[in-house]
Amino acid sequence: MARERVEEERRRQEAPRRRQCEEYVQNFWYDFRGSDEPTEVLLSRLKFLLSSSGYSNWENEFYNQVVAQVKTTQRPSSSKRQQRTNQNDEANFGDMGINFNGVFFTPQQYRILCQYPQTKTMAYQELISFCQKLADKYAEFANFKQQTSTQTHFVGDIIREAYNLFGLSYENITEESLKKAYRKLAMKYHPDKNKSSNAAEMFNKVQKAYETLQRELQCKAA
């Protein structure tokens, strides 16, 4: 009986960690079907998150099963993944700003802007002027025609909060600085190490902020 009670208590304590692993796996398949990131990168990130969850059986119960399923699952084509990404942007972000060379665009504006490779090297003021010209061709850029060149575009609350949480900014964020800040916060708020009542909530917040800033890096590198 004592052994059964110990096992029951272990399962009770691990239940939140197991649910966290389930969420990580769910996010993996979401990205697998809708992201352009290589499968190896997605699997590497999943393994890191699962191993950091504190769940004792993460590898056998989750990771190995995902690896086996990936081998027999064909990813959607790049065009279909892009179509799904566009739909998700509109559904999840609405008019939230996507940071591009210091200017923030809606997902619709950003997709149009990506059709013009020369914009990647434009400075802030050049980009504003270019967008004002695009307003003659695309209704999506009408707001640039209406504003003066000195008006500022503001980042969405979600991205701003993510930058603040990690102590980073658009100017200094790099893949290395993001990973370093993420590891520090993940260790600080991991439920196994932090017994405060809001540790799990903060740990989840760190995960979501990390995903948000990863998208920011992709936009910055585009």
Split at pLDDT 50, 70, 90, the class of 157 is: low
Does one domain contain both 18 and 63?
Answer: yes
Q: How far is CA 219 from the centre of its chain?
A: 11
Mean pLDDT of the chain: 78
pLDDT at 108 over 90: no
Whole-number pLDDT of residue 220: 65
Domain total of the chain: 2
Does one domain contain both 7 and 61?
Answer: yes
Does one domain contain both 4 and 69?
Answer: yes
Does one domain contain both 82 and 123?
Answer: yes
Question: Which H or E run contains 28?
Answer: helix 2-34
Report the C-alpha gap between 142 and 136 in whole angstroms: 8
pLDDT at 36 over 60: yes
Structure tokens of 148?
Answer: 């003066």
Report the C-alpha gap between 41 and 75 in whole angstroms: 14
Residue-range definition of the domain harbouring residue 89: 78-146
Does one domain contain both 46 and 84?
Answer: no
Does one domain contain both 49 and 109?
Answer: no
β-pairing, 103-105 with 98-100? Answer: antiparallel
Q: Are 55 and 105 contacting, i.e. CB atoms less than 8 angstroms apart? A: no
More confident residue, 36 or 64: 64
More confident residue, 126 or 90: 126
